[in-house]
Amino acid sequence: MEDQVLATNQTKRIALIAHDNKKQDLLAWASFNRDLLAQHELYATGTTGRLLEEELDLKIIKFQSGAMGGDQQIGAKISQGEIDFLIFFWDPLKPMPHDPDVKALLRIAVVWNIPVACNRASADFIISSPLMSGEYQRLLPSHQDRDERLERHSIS
């Protein structure tokens, strides 16, 4: 099957998430990049969004906290084509009670082929890319073959 193409506008829709002990890292990164972030639509999970709004004095579209379903809400927005990339400063050394939600969110981001930054270095590379200032043609892989196989197996 043929891949689909989704055009990403010049104004990007950026989801920002940080685990508790990574919030200060994300706030510092976002403060440094405030002027660039101000040109885009920003989304965040609950507490992170509130902290970013206070720090940056920008409007942030906020969801529930990650542990209360915010990660899943952002994942839903990704699957609906309403988030263009994800900045998620997560802590790989500290287990979280909602680890399955975190893994599901990262999985959805990969399935829908959006860029994901999990630390300051990768966030710097994404936000400084020349692709940030223009339209981008993102390929969406076709899952029709997989869906047809599943349908054939469920019928028998």
Residues annotated as part of the active site: 71
Ordered DSSP codes for the chain: -PPEEEEEPSS-EEEEEE-GGGHHHHHHHHHHTHHHHTTSEEEE-HHHHHHHHHHH----EE-S-GGGTHHHHHHHHHHTT---EEEEE--TTS--TTHHHHHHHHHHHHHTT--EE-SHHHHHHHHTSGGGGS-EEEEE---HHHHHHHHHHHH-
Could you tell me which of 50, 100, 34 has the C-alpha nearest to residue 71? 100
Give the phi and the psi of residue 8 in degrees, each rounded to 5.
-100, 125
